[in-house]
Amino acid sequence: MSRSAKKWVPMPGIVATYAGRAGSGARNVRVIAEASAGYMVVEAIGRNDVPVRFSVKRENLMPLQPVLFE
C-alpha cells in the first residue's frame, strides 16, 4: 500500500532553497515565476552582489528550514 506524498509546490514570491549541482551546495533563492516543462524562474545574489535570474527544475527547490530567530 503506497501513500501519495504531498509534494511541495513553490509559489511565486516565496524564498526557497535550491540544491542543484552537486558541487555548488545549497543556496537561497526567491521564486519569480513558473516557466514551462516543470521549471521555475528564480532570483539569487550572484558575483559582485548583483541579482541574477535563472531557471531551475521545480524538483530541485525545497522549502526553507526553520531558523532559530524567526
CA distance 29 to 43: 6
pLDDT in tens, 20-35: 776 677 889 999 999 9
Ramachandran assignment for 2, one of left (phi > 0), alpha (psi -120 to 50 degrees), beta (any other): beta
Percent of the chain exceeding pLDDT 70 equals 86
pLDDT, mean of residues 39-49:
93
Q: Please, which pLDDT band fits residue 49 given cuts at 50, 70 and 90? A: very high
Q: Please, which pLDDT band fits residue 8 given cuts at 50, 70 and 90? A: confident
Residue-level pLDDT at 48: 92
Q: What pTM did the predictor assign?
A: 0.79
Question: Are the C-beta atoms of 53 and 33 separated by less than 8 Å?
Answer: no
Domain residue ranges in the chain: 15-63
Q: How far is CA 69 from CA 15, 16, 35, 48, 63, in A?
A: 16, 17, 33, 28, 17
The cell numbers describing 23, all together, are 558541487
